[in-house]
A and B are shown apart, each in its own frame.
Chain A
Amino acid sequence: MNNDLILTSAAMLVVLAPSILVAILAIPMLLGIPTSEALQGKLIRTAVMLGLAASVVILAIMLVSGSRHVMLEPGDWVHIHEEHYHFHIKFVFDRLSVPFVILSWVLCGTVGAFANVYLHREQGFRRFFLLYAIFQLGMIISALAGTIETLFFGWELVGLSSAFLIAFFHERPGPVRNGHRVWAIYRVSDAAFLLAALILHRLSGAGDFDALTGTGVWPLGVAAVDSWQATLVGLLLLLAAAGKSGMIPFSGWLPRAMEGPTPSSAVFYGALSVHLGTYLLLRSSPLLEVSQPLRIAVIILGLSSAVLGSLLSRVQTDVKNALAFASLTQVGIITVEIGLGFRYIALTHMIGHACLRTLQLLRAPSVLKDFHSIENAVGRHLSPEAAGWNSLLPASLQVWLYRFSLERGYLDGFLNELIVRPFTAIFRWCDQQEHRWSRFVDGNEFRESESLAVRGDSLEDVI
């Protein structure tokens, strides 16, 4: 009984700490009240310490008491009887979510401390930490989500904050463009996710994962849907996961996401964000048990992404790109592991990879010094000349493969030509038709803004 009380309050704390942090950071900003860097640092530290401590307490009690499934249900927030729809919020603490939550706290805390120094005196300091807090909240919610709506909510927060942080340096066009691009890809994966949620609702009348995974505790759950339903929902979830984790065909966004400050790149694209897709797959892994085709699809996607990632990473000549694609390799391998049913291995792998990659990305600027000290120690210049299997290939194939990798597997090009271009063409056409129709109705020219010059007037007179 006592345990239950502690568990519930700790669980509340885990969820409330990041939410209150967001509120505390956001409200003064909205009201225009200045807060010092030191104060913000302290707030973030407190929130992380509280959340981490509460998560560890939960882990300890779960280990001691043998309970493997703790729920926190703030209840239905929206209930539409006619449509049989309710927005149900539920948080689940189990063998999957607790380690992931602890990982999130540790990484967010460490990288937060890093960023607190790194972004010192930066103009966008508050903006960064607000987005960072939102990201952290999104991670915790998605990790703990017990219903698909809750997961979607957290997932969106992560996506939103990611896109804004990629475009953090919004005075330059590059980051903004790349932020848009990532945002657009997130929309595609969100659409797949929403569709999956909808279908799930149609099938089960509720968004609980219980409906998918039966009543069993992760990873022992058994899906309560039949094979083709599982395949349909599973494929949509796979698409969503591919978008979020930068797997084929969406891998092109990974390097683009490296436009933000180094710490945000590290924690998002090295560590937490990229694993959100695989986390989703893990969460819904009972579906894989039911549907063989889904399983094969997961393995194929994972394997091809891993191979692509290792190829691409091999030819990159800058640190962050190389690490971004190295992450893709690992995410692909984790996906394969999930497909093969090694869930615990996948979980361990995910956590290990996240920590390692975060460290590597944070230390990315050291690469020059590292190389020199290694060269001095080894006594020769480092050169990959002799290394690698690629030297075994015939020359023309080598060139072919090298170019394929240098061009990042042409994935961006394919997306541009096959999806973006037709998509924008349709909307341009619609816009034209609307323009024509309103001109016909109204009888005169309008939308003057469109005829203005692309660039505005001069800022200064030059003599």
Chain B
Amino acid sequence: MIRRDETGPAESSTDAADRIRDMVRQAAQLLPTQGPIEVFVFRNPLEVHEHLPFDNAVKLAREQLGGHPYWPESRYRELLSEGRITVADLQAVLQEECPAQSEQPTEPVYSRRRIREVMLTHPLSIGPDAALRWVVAETDALERFCPTTPLAVRERLLSSTSHWIAGNAKQIRESEQPFWASVRSILDRAGAPPARLRDEQWEVVVLQILWQICRRAAIQTTPAAPQSAGCPLPRDLLLQATGRDLNQLTHDLLIRFCGAFLDQGYAGWNLPGRDQGFFRCFLSLYSQSQSVPDAWLRELSRELRALLLSGDSAEQSIQHSLQVLSIAEEDQQQFLCRTLLSLSGWAGMLWQMETAAAWTVRPAPAGTLTEFLAVQLILERHAIRHLGNEHCKLHGSLQQILEALRTMTLRESASVDDRRAFRIFQTAQWLGWLPEDLHAMPPQKLHDIIAEIDSFGATERRRLFHEAYERNYREATLNALVVHTQRRKCSHPETAPRPAFQLLTCIDDREESFRRHVEEIAPQCETFGAAGFFAVAMNYRGAADSFYKPLCPAVVTPVHYVNEDVGYTFEGVHHSRARLRSRLGRVTYGFHTRSRTFLGGIAAGIVGSLATAPLVARVLFPHLTARIRSRFGTLLETPPITRLQLDRYQPDPGPGEGHIGYSINEMADIVRRLLNDIGIRSPQQFSRLFVVCGHGSSSLNNPHESSYCCGACAGKRGGPNARAFAQMANDFRVRTLLRERGLQIPEDTVFVGAYHDTCSDSVVYYDLNLLPSSHRADFEAARDAVQLACVRNAHERCRRFASAPLNISLDDALRHVESRSQDISQPRPEYDHATNALCFVGRRTWSRGMFLDRRAFLVSYDPESDDEQSNILLRILAPAVPVCAGISLAFFFSTIDNTRYGSGSKLPHNVASLLGVMEGTSSDLRTGAYQQVCELHEPMRLMFVIESRPEVMLSIMDRNQTISQLFRGNWLQLAVIDPETSEVQVFRKGRFQPFEPAATLLPQRKSSFDCYSGSREHLPFSSIDDAALSESLRQDRTDAPDTWKRTSPTTVASAANGAHRI
């Protein structure tokens, strides 16, 4: 091989290999970070750029990845006309961007502020060049004022221009200057001498003159052509020159091979030689001398055989490819990046499988991505050679072909002058720039003005629109908060009685409405929010599971193992059922695979008519089918009473016997940590019943199911965590230990674990057989309240589902959401985190009773129980900020550009290699949120409102790099609130500024139902007045818990049916 002679001594060749590996590693940072889809974690697609300010990062990503930085301008303009963005918002944003230069009340018409303002608020032409040409040539845009031009401006333009023409009559008649000549010809065409022109004719004359001036100015100031981004890829050259895309050839093969290489056990036949690694395996498979019909692959096997013989590594092969494609050293990094990005989904999955998926059945060996790149480059070379030769009709080397292609693509780019001229013309019209002034202006000043217009390009306009869009919501939120906290302060006494029960849920935005409904139904209860793994990071194995799965945030690697134990009583039942399950499983697997084979297929086909029954039943009667299935499912389920194996009696945690579980010390730490986090530190704060409620979601036919589950449990269901926490907190040894450490849990406080299914809105409780009979009444009251809350929550959710009527009844609403989770044809079982926009960190007292429309993460935190350094706040924010940012930004970008950052429509999705989804049968792996789930989302950066002081937040930012980057880089918004004084400070441009509340009317309503009923849109904030309810409660405290039931006894009875499975 040639490169042998050139690379010289062995040492430099390892250096070169290192360099290649480094470049691949760098390029890999740009690839999507989504791993196997069964563990779906929302992450910021631009995580790699988080060290940059947001606006720079999105622009950089546009260059690198081609994704939109913001919504298209037309979308914002729609929002402007709908009133979602107001002119006042735009003005405020402009005020912040370019503060008024003088104290004058009106800015001069040539100022940056005014120019930007009219460009944003008036209908600027934003179409493609062809549309603009049409507007200029075919419409009356050059003859009539734009409809939005103010009347005063029109009149000023008309009158002063007519005076000016009258004053310069002589020049117009005689001057040979091109400008005056053109004015002359415009007047000639006007149809009458100037003195007798009617107003409409004057309008034509004025606008034509203005257009002449603008056009000339635009041509004179043509800006330098923008620099092309680096060297053109061979692929781009080929595409421009011939219109043929080499990816069409190479991707098909690469996708098939990647699928086979990464397959986690779907195919009935494993890729032979997979254990040799990607590169070797490819070489041995494709070096076989089969007579391949595809013309572009004819030379491939020869080259691969040579590679196989020479024993070259993947790095050497990449080096060779770079050399043959003559990529200059300084362009290599970029070239490799863009090559990998052309099939980013698969490349990203290879990288994830190589670096972060040791838990999968078949992870990829180290170096796989480099080997993939080597293969991709080899294939690209063959494709270029083939397509180039075919098109250029020459049979030369790659260099010759590339040279020929380069000469073919040297075309001049289209002129942009008209577009600029029209933009200047529009701006001049709206601002009333007089032709005489423009004409008389010194050239430098004119150029400056035009440069001002040019500098306000599409991306800048979109950025400002976006700022205004976010500002609108931010102002509304903060104003509402100010009013609401004031109201709460007035209406609520300082000393609260002991709560009826306490409910701790995940911070998830979907639990906001759930908590609100529970609070409305049972005003004497108290709710909390904490990350849904409840400080119990564990590897968990259920009684019916065969493997341990981590139940904790994806960034944590749990060391503890917890097992669901059946115990002796039901051991026999458990074993026989496990055997039955295993037998059935084997039969099902056999059917799965055999029905696709030759002989098995015959049998399956002949008896296949029987499949009609499940087919028709599942599609037409999902609810009934689900009930039948669950009826039969009980025959297979684990026994009704199980126990978590939580006690460890060996020193080290591990999966072995005796190593499972936690030590008492560790349990006490966990319990204390969580209780301190949510602000509980004294015995008076506990109620008799403390419900800890994890959450998850179940749906059918949904490869993205994991994305609906608890993000704090690595995309799994958080029930076991809640159960484990309750069991720990109930343990008397733990309580003794805690008492020694200063946290006393009253004797009459009982913890109960629960699980909330956010899709079907059902709640189940754990270990009720251990509930003391003294607490039955408390539990039943709490259970009924929670059950009714589920029904109401379902009802609130239904307003967002277009297929549920707006006047749906409570019972039907619950049935509707249940059927969503049981229907195999349902692409939107629920809307996941869509519409998330806020995150409140602080005591519930100030945000309670505020209608937040399921848009807020609610984190409990009590600054009074925090130490001086605010370590608890830091401890809470350290995971909460990046997790919420990940969710918010994943939705942000998937909504802004679903093609690039999202996974497109769910309808043609196809599960590939059991790892991800493709569109159809041969596409890149698609990552991110899919289109159906984003359709309601309003892409805004999540706003944190934290009950704290500015200096505390600044110190936390100084102490935690990630938090600092996200807030200081504007990836998130931040405000702090003092609920006592209702003072809010907003973090803008790196510092806190006091927020000045505008006088707003925050509607006060009787219940959540009044807030949302009859609407499918995003709703404004309102206060829910629970004064009346709590008043009535205070009066008949004697028969306390039962009063809640009176709200709607029938609903409770019907909906509670079978809900509290143990």
Contact = CB atoms under 8 A, between A and B. Distances in A.
A204 interface: no
A373 B256 CA distance: 27
Contacts of B546: 375-380
Interface string A377-410: 1111111110110100001101110111111001
Nearest to B455: A463
A228 interface: no
A454 B619 contact: no
Contacts of A398: 272
B755 to A, nearest CB: 18
A403 B586 contact: no
Contacts of B268: 313-315, 384, 387-388
B601 A322 contact: no
Nearest to A405: B269
A449 interface: no
A259 B920 contact: yes
Contacts of B269: 314-315, 384, 388, 390, 402, 405
Contacts of A385: 270
A232 interface: no
A383 B361 contact: yes
B703 A365 contact: yes
B266 A322 contact: yes
B713 interface: no
A268 to B, nearest CB: 13
B825 A326 contact: no
Contacts of A169: 905, 907-908, 919
Given A377-B581, A458-B129, A121 B455 contact: no
Contacts of B910: 258, 318-321, 364
B288 interface: yes
A47 to B, nearest CB: 16
A113 interface: yes
A353 B911 contact: no
B868 to A, nearest CB: 48
Interface string B929-962: 0001001000000000000000000000000000
Contacts of A326: 595-597, 601
Interface string B23-52: 000000000000001100000000000000
B826 interface: yes
Nearest to B270: A384
B265 A352 contact: no
Contacts of B905: 122, 169
A51 B267 CA distance: 40
Interface in B422-469: 454-455, 457-460
A348 B606 contact: yes
A352 B914 contact: no
A261 B907 contact: yes
A259 B271 contact: no
A375 B271 CA distance: 21
B912 A317 contact: yes
Interface string B614-653: 1110011000000000000000000000000000000000
Contacts of B544: 376-377
A414 interface: yes
B606 A117 contact: no
Contact of A395 (B266, B272, B361): B272
Contact of A106 (B616, B703, B908): B616
A339 interface: no
Interface stretch (A67-75, A172-180, A194-202, A208-216): A172-180
A322 B271 contact: no
B824 A314 contact: no
Contacts of B907: 118-119, 122, 169, 261-262
A368 B38 contact: yes
B497 interface: no
A459 B419 CA distance: 11
A187 B584 CA distance: 46
Contacts of B292: 407, 410, 413
B701 interface: yes
B263 A121 contact: no
A429 to B, nearest CB: 14
Interface in B887-932: 905, 907-914, 918-923, 932
A349 B587 CA distance: 22
A456 B130 contact: yes
Contacts of A404: 290
A335 interface: no
B825 A352 contact: no
B607 to A, nearest CB: 6
A462 interface: yes
Interface in B262-306: 262-263, 265-273, 284-286, 288, 290, 292-295
Interface residues of A, number: 116
A431 B879 CA distance: 66
Contacts of A119: 907
Contacts of A390: 269
Contacts of B295: 417
A260 B905 CA distance: 11
A384 B265 contact: yes
A378 B267 contact: no
Contacts of B828: 120
B243 interface: yes
Nearest to A177: B248
Contacts of B683: none
B615 A174 contact: no
A423 B130 CA distance: 36
Contacts of A356: 595, 604-605, 608, 611
Pick the most buried of B293, B826, B919: most chain A CB atoms within 10 A of its CB.
Answer: B293
Nearest to A395: B272
A341 interface: no
Nearest to A337: B602
Nearest to B462: A460
B640 to A, nearest CB: 19
A333 B802 CA distance: 45
A399 B273 contact: yes
A349 B602 contact: yes
Interface in B166-210: none
B1010 interface: no
A405 B414 CA distance: 48
The 9 A-B residue pairs with the shortest CB-CB distance in the complex, in nearest-first order? A377-B585, A356-B608, A463-B457, A352-B608, A413-B293, A326-B596, A353-B605, A259-B920, A457-B129
11 contacts: A333-B598, A334-B605, A362-B619, A366-B824, A376-B547, A384-B265, A385-B270, A406-B285, A456-B130, A459-B128, A460-B73
Interface of B: 37-38, 73, 126-130, 226, 239-240, 243, 256-257, 259-260, 262-263, 265-273, 284-286, 288, 290, 292-295, 361, 411, 414, 416, 419, 454-455, 457-460, 544-547, 581-582, 584-586, 588-589, 592-593, 595-598, 601-602, 604-612, 614-616, 619-620, 700-703, 705, 802-803, 823-828, 905, 907-914, 918-923, 932, 935
Given A113-B825, A315-B268, A381-B361, 19 more contacts: A117-B826, A118-B825, A255-B921, A320-B921, A325-B596, A326-B596, A329-B598, A333-B601, A333-B602, A352-B604, A377-B588, A384-B269, A399-B284, A403-B286, A417-B295, A456-B130, A458-B128, A460-B73, A460-B126
